Amino acid sequence: MPEFPTVKVAGLPVWRVSTEELCDLIDQWSAKGEGHWIATLNLDYYARGVREPQFLELLRQADVFTADGMPILRACQKIDSRFEGLMRTTGADLTPMVLKKVDPKRIAVVGGADPKKAIETVGKNPADFFIFDGKVELTEPWAQSLADQMKDRTVIFVALGCPKQEQMIALLKPHMPQAVFVAVGGSFDMLAGVTSRAPLWMQKAGMEWFYRLAIEPKRLWRRYLVEYPPGARALKRETLDQLKGLNGASHGG
């Protein structure tokens, strides 16, 4: 594994890695059959981990963590100055980059409303990819069957939303030690134009959640207005505690 600076968030080591660097690593790992689980951390993950400790334990099985959400990135930047200047490494940015760079015969896609259209938008032929659009059962027999179908693939995009995609990766990973798993949520839907992404200025301002809430209020109001605030408060407390610990250590030294 390459060495990147990391900051612990919820006990998970978030890498200081750019989207371009991670894309190159995925290409290299998949070519060598070196398996990994990549999780792009955002406030949804963090807040869910606060509410559901069992989800956090599930997430600990991943071995590469990136700062997807602005709150996560800002926390890392406050704790470690080496993160200053780093842009978010999001599933939405990583997905098209990997689709363009990696040999399509190494890639499989599970989930997404229209993955074929998403693939076409980056100028690739969907026929070259393995696309699973059947029913996801999250059982051992199902996982074994799907792993057998994807045995020649070494990059597995899982676009089922949290926590279903993480549960599926945990089931599949033991059957496919050669594969790089990337949980990407709604990234394929954005690529296909099924859903839209916030303007760049809103992304940079950390207001992407507000844009999504405005577009899908019935589906997302609970997530952003009820579930996120406790997670945001917990992240702020954790960041302050880490800063106090660092200041105490420096004064003590």
pLDDT, residue 133, reads 86
pTM of the model: 0.91
Please report which confidence band the pLDDT of residue 252 belongs to, taking 50, 70 and 90 as the band edges.
Answer: low
The number of beta carbons lying within 10 Å of the beta carbon of residue 120 is 14
The residue segments making up the domain with residue 224 are 6-252
Question: What per-residue string of b and e applies to 35-65 under the rule 16 or more CB within 10 Å gives b?
Answer: bbbbbbbbbbbbbbbbeeeebbebbeebebb
For the segment 141-198, what is each residue's pLDDT rounded down to a tens digit? Answer: 999 999 999 999 999 999 999 999 999 999 999 999 999 999 999 999 999 988 878 8
Question: How many angstroms separate the CA atoms of 131 and 109, rounded?
Answer: 5
In a domain, 42, yes or no: yes
In a domain, 211, yes or no: yes
pLDDT, residue 250, reads 59
For residue 172, which of 149, 189, 195 has the smallest C-alpha distance? 149
Please report which confidence band the pLDDT of residue 221 belongs to, taking 50, 70 and 90 as the band edges.
Answer: confident
In a domain, 125, yes or no: yes
In a domain, 1, yes or no: no
pLDDT, residue 203, reads 82
pLDDT, residue 209, reads 80
Assess whether the previous peptide bond of 163 is cis (omega < 30° from 0).
yes
Domains: count for the chain: 1
